[in-house]
Amino acid sequence: MRKILVAVDLQNDFIDGSLAVPGAASVIPVIKKALHDYDLVYFTLDWHSAGHCSFREQGGPWPVHCVHHTVGAALPVGLIDNMDEGRMRFVLKGQKVEQYGAFADVTPSTQDWFAPGDEVTVCGIASEYCVKETVKNIQSIAEQVGFKLRVWLDATAKFDNYDELLEFSREHGIEIV
């Protein structure tokens, strides 16, 4: 059994940048402290072009955020210090279309991200959007592959509430830690 942490969108723009989520800065040290407790850590990243369809200027709902190769799209300084590169993977999302969940395009037959018996814990920013949708994507894979899925609530920031994430988790037997 591998212990896998999926850390959703721990990016500067969501912490203290153009689309800052209240309390996001407080989850970073919690997550950083636990990174070495996992065999693998998957960092999901919003990874948008400068003229992305989700931006208000293009008719989308959001301010410009997480433009690829900018400071706003980067992980916070020091987050992955002293981590073995072989234990990290980066999952880019939202490159061409608006996409909240990571692993939406991954199928169990074509990926090696998860295996039977794994214990997968999801946390990050923000509960109502990218964390919830990533949990949904991974739950779909978990049903087919056969691994345990958990949500780490104390390491998850929210805009307003955890309601939808908790409801989905309860409905699908996902453990809240």
Question: Domain range for residue 43?
Answer: 3-176
Structure tokens at 55: 């931006």
Q: CB-based contacts of 96: which residues, under 8 Å, 6+ apart?
A: none
- Tens of pLDDT, residues 24-55: 999 999 999 999 999 999 999 999 999 999 99
If DSSP states are collapsed to H, E and C, what string results for 8-35?
ECCCHHHHCCCCCCCCHHHHHHHHHHHH
**Mean pLDDT of the region 115-123:** 97
- Number of structural domains (the chain) is 1
Structure tokens at 20: 């800052």
Q: How far is it, in rounded angstroms, from Cα 146 to Cα 12?
A: 34
| Residue 96 predicted with pLDDT over 90 | no
Q: Which residue has the tokens 């981590």?
A: 83
CATH number at residue 152: 3.40.50.850
